Amino acid sequence: MKTPLFWAMLDHDVYGNALGYAWHKKMMKQYSAEYFEYSEDADIALQIISADHFIPVAGKINVLFTMWEFLDLPPSYIEGINKADVLIVPCDWCRDLFRRYTEKPIYVCNEGIEPGTFPFFDRSQNRPNGSDKKFRFLWCGAPNPRKGYEFVVKSIKLFEKMPEIEIYIKTTSKKIDLTNIRERRAEYGDITDEDFEKRIERMIEREPKLKTENLTHFGEHQNIIYDTRKLSFDELVGLYNSAHCFLLPTLGEGWGLTLCEAMATGCPSIALPQTGCAEYFDERVGFGVKYDIITMRLENYGISSRTYLPNLEDFVSKMVMVIQNYDEALKRGKRASERIHKNFTWPQAARRLHDIILEVKANMTQEVCCAH
């Protein structure tokens, strides 16, 4: 018998650039369908959403699945997590961070990959030779500071002069459809028109500034590729497989889905071994970048927060290290793929979510019994 659960959220991304949440919702719902009967009559309501957008469902036990990327929470997040009855986060790092701000129960449920979609790809048969095939570094993400976009851009100054090296920047150019969002006003629940408009303002603030839909080559040897096209899922997997090394010099991740996917294909990776990435990334399976802790202004949230800042010199040195020691890089990539496929998949995440909801339900029943 399936467990009743109120899936209290939209199935599509309506929060601007929150593509990670959108994919998380889609995959979790797809793989959880064998465990749950989705019903508005269920006692437990689940929302997978950023905490500052969370609105509890009246009369339900509200479970909020959320995350954060920096070392300090903004007031809107603190308010959001304390509105929930139960919290779920994707990693131990988020759990430990949230415990500083709330006494609500916190469970860890990792995110993952689709095993059949991201199989291991043997790059030993696809080695760069310096002439016909360049050594390709791949970076994927929104063009914002947190994702390490600026570090990749700064590395271009060195590598654009090296014809045997290629840097592929895959970023976004999605434009928010404000008309569609306003037409779906009722789906946001019982909030004031003023709060609804404030949410739209936040969406616009987070929207990427780049709007072009193209593929551009530049650099001294035309070896820098800037790609803002909308790719199919198969094309995205092919892009991972075309890379010899994946880059994620992030300042912080709640999970780090692109790194997880790249590792699943066996792509040697250079990343920050901190925040959500630390759940599955270390020196055995990749190349960690050194970092400092700094304070930076988060304008969207009106606060200053501590965060991890990758060391640019070390980041570039790790890129050179991978080129010069590619056999070792491939070994780490193979171990990375094995780790991801063994421990971090969406089917496993769905089972874990079901276990959590059952425990929440049992605790709820026990509390009712004790009250009587």
In a shared domain, residues 55 and 66? yes
In a shared domain, residues 363 and 258? no
Give the closest residue to 247 by CA, choosing from 111, 113, 148, 144.
Answer: 148
In a shared domain, residues 142 and 237? yes
Look up the domain containing 95 and give its range.
3-110+346-371
In a shared domain, residues 244 and 98? no
pLDDT in tens, 266-286: 999 999 999 999 999 999 999
pLDDT of 213 = 55
In a shared domain, residues 214 and 328? yes
308 forms bridges with which residues in the sheet? Answer: 293
In a shared domain, residues 147 and 84? no
| 273 occurs within a structural domain | yes
In a shared domain, residues 292 and 354? no
pLDDT in tens, 112-158: 999 899 999 999 877 776 556 899 999 998 877 899 888 888 888 88
Name the domain count of the chain: 2
pLDDT in tens, 89-120: 999 999 999 999 999 999 999 999 998 999 99
* Torsional class of 16: left (φ above 0), alpha (ψ -120 to 50), beta (otherwise): left
Query: 294, 307 in Cβ contact below 8 A?
Result: yes
In a shared domain, residues 64 and 88? yes
In a shared domain, residues 22 and 10? yes
Measured in whole angstroms, the distance separating CA 71 from the mean position of its chain's CA atoms is: 17
CATH number of the domain encompassing residue 241 = 3.40.50.2000
The model's pTM: 0.85
In a shared domain, residues 127 and 105? no
| 184 occurs within a structural domain | no
pLDDT of 209 = 43
In a shared domain, residues 317 and 286? yes
Give the closest residue to 174 by CA, choosing from 22, 57, 70.
Answer: 22
| 188 occurs within a structural domain | no
In a shared domain, residues 143 and 8? no
